Amino acid sequence: MVKGTDYSLARRAVLRDLRAGRVSRNDVCDAHPELLRAARNIGERVGKNCPVCRSKDLFYVSYVYGDRLRAANGRALSQPGELDELARKHAEFDCYVVEVCTKCRWNHLGRRELHGTRT
């Protein structure tokens, strides 16, 4: 079982504030160029429309962080099964899944998961 934190409540709050005019589109559609590149090249297509621009160009990008990951630390996952392989080899690390729209640059942390042999 994977332990983690779901950020869907925070996502809904940001989208509510955007629709109410409390934040601007520029405030929430500010994805870094490297995050956009990762989404285009190795992201996993979400299969639903962007909550901001309604585009189908919505992706999940997963990044892993952990003290003992060495070269994999801070890297976006790019291969199927890569997360499972890391989980078998390492005691504990985090995987952050970011939702990214490559059209309007919307991005939001979707969830944080704890993986590894000690979870």
Predicted local confidence at residue 102, as pLDDT: 98
- The C-alpha torsion from 72 through 78 and 84 to 85, rounded to 10°, is -50
Phi-psi region of 12 (alpha: psi -120 to 50; beta: other; left: phi over 0): alpha
Predicted local confidence at residue 56, as pLDDT: 97
**Which parts of the chain have pLDDT scores under 70?**
1, 119
User: What residue type is 38 in one-letter code?
Assistant: A
Predicted local confidence at residue 119, as pLDDT: 59
pTM of the prediction?
0.90
Predicted local confidence at residue 70, as pLDDT: 86
Predicted local confidence at residue 74, as pLDDT: 92
